[in-house]
């Protein structure tokens, strides 16, 4: 459903689908999704040429191909550039969803195994 109330139904194929992209600025980003055979969703977030964050059912979070440990005890991941600017802020919530904030782009992503919600970040 869009901000103006329009709703679009789309059946996703097994290929990657570009959900949103911003190529402006030094650290552009792209969010892609693709369905898996078990109806779960895999999400990939590309941040400039610095990082690829993959989120899969479980949920599992990978940064540049490396599995990150996220539990209710270690629920926070931050991705920063060399200058210490936060590019992505990732939180594992008690309901087993993953919340990713891209502060440089004012975008929040909320992932559960079968869905992805994008919204403008609350400042």
- Residues written for the chain: 123
Q: What is the pLDDT along the chain (123 residues), one digit of tens a residue?
A: 677 888 877 777 888 989 889 877 667 889 999 998 888 899 999 987 777 888 888 888 898 889 988 776 667 888 888 888 888 888 888 888 899 999 888 899 999 988 898 898 776
Sequence ranges of the domains in the chain: 17-120
* 43-75 confidence digits (pLDDT tens): 999 987 777 888 888 888 898 889 988 776 667
């Amino acid at each position: 459903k869009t901000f103006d109330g329009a709703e679009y139904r789309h059946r996703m194929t097994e290929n990657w689908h570009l959900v949103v992209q911003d190529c402006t600025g030094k650290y552009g980003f792209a969010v892609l999704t693709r369905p898996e055979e078990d109806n779960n969703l895999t999400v990939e977030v590309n941040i400039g040429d610095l990082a690829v964050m993959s989120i899969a059912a479980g949920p599992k979070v990978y940064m540049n191909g490396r599995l990150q440990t996220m539990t209710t005890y270690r629920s926070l991941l931050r991705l920063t550039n060399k200058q210490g600017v936060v590019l992505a802020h990732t939180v594992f919530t008690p309901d087993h969803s993953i919340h990713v904030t891209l502060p440089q782009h004012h975008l929040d992503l909320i992932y559960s195994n079968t869905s992805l919600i994008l919204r403008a970040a609350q400042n």
